């Protein structure tokens, strides 16, 4: 009871990376709270799925395995999670901020009347003080061991810490790549519980039919690229991005973008770096015409080296850059390409 739960997302019987990252985070939170870490798998043909999960330190793996539970649809997965949670009373539930996590999480939180925070970039344990109404009076109340759900908010101009002191579970979604996955012990021992799906999921839940489904491997390798050339609003146009692609090709880098550039339609959505995009940790990050809103910084601040090319010497991103080039992207990038072509080994 009152353990930390991670909903493990599945493609077939493969557990998504984001879920393994959350298991790692969940393990740390569980250690701090002195409770157990439990994982939850809902899908079809899941024999042996626990072998992917236990090494990350799960003490118990709950499995719901039945035809109709893959591909994911909203109602059956909601029922499995909600009805299990009614029995288990978790204190924390973590989900990937993926299409599935963002479809499922809100339904579960609504059904259990618990708080949910989307796209967290940090999760910590701490205390909280709040005035609460007792009878006719407002009294101070102190809460220990709360989950701090930390996220950039409001277009990325601020960082907010959210708590849900009076409701359980405390729910949070986290994007792929934000937390780091780490095997605790390849032989970690945990209990595996196979649940009778019919007890948790009424047959009336199977109402949405998936008629057709195409899943492709990601078109870019932004998450794993050692060098990222990223463009922002200062790139100015779609044509401006062509130059970034040219530099990236020379450097064997991937091209990323800020939300502003994606919103402007200059580059595909799947290249967006930041809180609502991909999180990257390259050895070199070249920020081209990116002002550096927190929402963007959240997705690239762990880069080993940062170069900022910006015509505004006061751009916030320059604060965290190792090298600052005061100039326009238009002017600087061709010079970089030219020098590199001439001098690379």
Partner 1 sequence: MGYKIIVLAKQVPDTRNVGPDAMTPEGTVNRAALPAVFNPEDLNALEQALRIKDANPGSTITMLTMGLPKATEVLREGLYRGADAGVLLTDRALGGADTLATSYTLAQGIKKIGDYDIIVCGRQAIDGDTAQVGPQVAEKLGLTQITYTEEVLSVAGKKITAKRHIDGGVETVEGPLPIVITVNGSAAPCRTRNAKLVMKYKNAKPAPEIAALTDEAEKAYYATRPYLAIQQWGAADIDADPAQIGKAGSPTNVKAVKNIVFTAKESKTFTASDNDIDNLMAELIQSNTIG
Residues numbered 193-232 forming contacts with partner 1, rule: CB under 8 A: 207-218, 227
Candidates 40-48, 59-67, 146-154, 195-203: pick the segment binding partner 1 (CB under 8 A). 146-154
- Give how far the C-alpha of residue 86 lies from the chain's centroid of Cα atoms, to the nearest Å: 26
Under rule CB under 8 A, which residues in 242-271 are in contact with partner 1? Answer: 251, 260, 263, 269
H/E run at residue 30: helix 17-33
| Cβ distance to partner 1 smaller for residue 115 or 240 | 115
With b for 16 or more beta-carbon neighbours within 10 A and e for fewer, the 285-315 pattern comes to: bbbbbbbbbbbbbbbbbebeebbbbbeeeeb
192 in contact with partner 1 (CB under 8 A): no
Strand 305-310 with 14-15, pairing: unpaired
Nearer to partner 1, 17 or 194 (CB): 17
Site for partner 1 in 301-320 (CB under 8 A): 305, 307, 313, 316, 318-320
Q: Please, are residues 173 and 116 in contact by the beta-carbon 8 Å criterion?
A: yes
Q: Which stretch binds partner 1 (CB under 8 A): 28-36, 66-74, 134-142, 191-199?
A: 66-74
Stretch that binds partner 1, among 38-46, 163-171, 184-192, 193-201 (CB under 8 A): 163-171
Minimum distance of partner 1 from residue 198's CB (angstroms): 19
Q: How many residues in the shown chain lie near partner 1 by CB under 8 A?
A: 87
Identified binder of partner 1 from the candidate list 68, 106, 192, 236, rule CB under 8 A: 106
Q: Shortest gap between Cβ of 5 and partner 1 (angstroms)?
A: 17
Closest to partner 1 by CB, 103 or 192: 103
Q: Give all strands of the β-sheet with 60-65 in edge-to-edge order.
A: 116-120, 170-174, 92-96, 4-8, 37-43, 60-65, 191-194
- The alpha carbon of residue 256 and the mean position of all alpha carbons in its chain are separated, in whole angstroms, by 17
| CA distance linking residue 72 with residue 76, whole number of Å | 8
Nearest to 282 by CA among 183, 177, 150: 177
Phi and psi at 193, nearest 5°, equal -120, 120
Residue number, 189 or 342, with CB nearest to partner 1: 342
For residue 178, the minimal CB distance to partner 1 (Å) is: 15
């Amino acid at each position: 009871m009152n353990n930390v739960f991670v909903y493990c997302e599945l493609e077939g019987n493969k557990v998504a990376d984001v879920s393994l990252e959350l298991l790692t985070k969940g393990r740390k939170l569980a250690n701090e709270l002195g409770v157990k870490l439990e994982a939850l798998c809902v899908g079809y043909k899941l024999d042996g799925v626990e072998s992917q999960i236990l090494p990350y330190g799960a003490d118990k793996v709950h499995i719901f395995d039945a035809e109709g539970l893959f591909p994911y649809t909203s109602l059956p997965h909601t029922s499995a999670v909600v009805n299990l949670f009614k029995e288990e009373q978790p204190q924390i539930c973590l989900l990937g901020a993926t299409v599935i996590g963002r479809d499922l999480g809100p339904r579960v939180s609504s059904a259990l009347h618990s708080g949910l925070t989307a796209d967290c970039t940090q999760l910590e344990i701490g205390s909280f003080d709040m005035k609460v109404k007792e009878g006719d009076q407002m009294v101070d109340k102190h809460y220990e061991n709360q989950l701090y759900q930390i996220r950039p908010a409001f277009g990325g101009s601020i960082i907010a810490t959210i708590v849900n002191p009076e409701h359980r579970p405390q729910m949070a979604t986290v994007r792929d790549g934000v937390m780091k996955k780490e095997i605790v012990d390849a032989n970690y021992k945990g209990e595996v519980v196979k649940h009778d799906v019919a007890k948790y999921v009424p047959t009336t839940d199977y109402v949405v039919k998936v008629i057709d489904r195409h899943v492709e491997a990601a078109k870019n390798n932004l998450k794993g690229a050692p060098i990222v050339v990223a463009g922002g609003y200062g790139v100015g146009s779609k044509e401006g991005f062509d130059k970034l692609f040219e530099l990236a090709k020379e450097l064997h880098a991937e091209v990323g973008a800020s939300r502003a550039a994606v919103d402007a339609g200059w580059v595909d959505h799947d290249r967006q770096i930041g809180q609502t995009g991909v999180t990257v940790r390259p050895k070199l990050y070249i920020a081209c015409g990116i002002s550096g809103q927190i929402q963007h910084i959240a997705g690239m601040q762990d880069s080993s080296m940062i170069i900022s090319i910006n015509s505004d010497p006061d751009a916030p991103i320059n604060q965290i850059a190792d090298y600052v080039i005061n100039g326009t992207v238009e002017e600087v990038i061709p010079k970089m390409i030219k020098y590199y072509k001439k001098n690379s080994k």
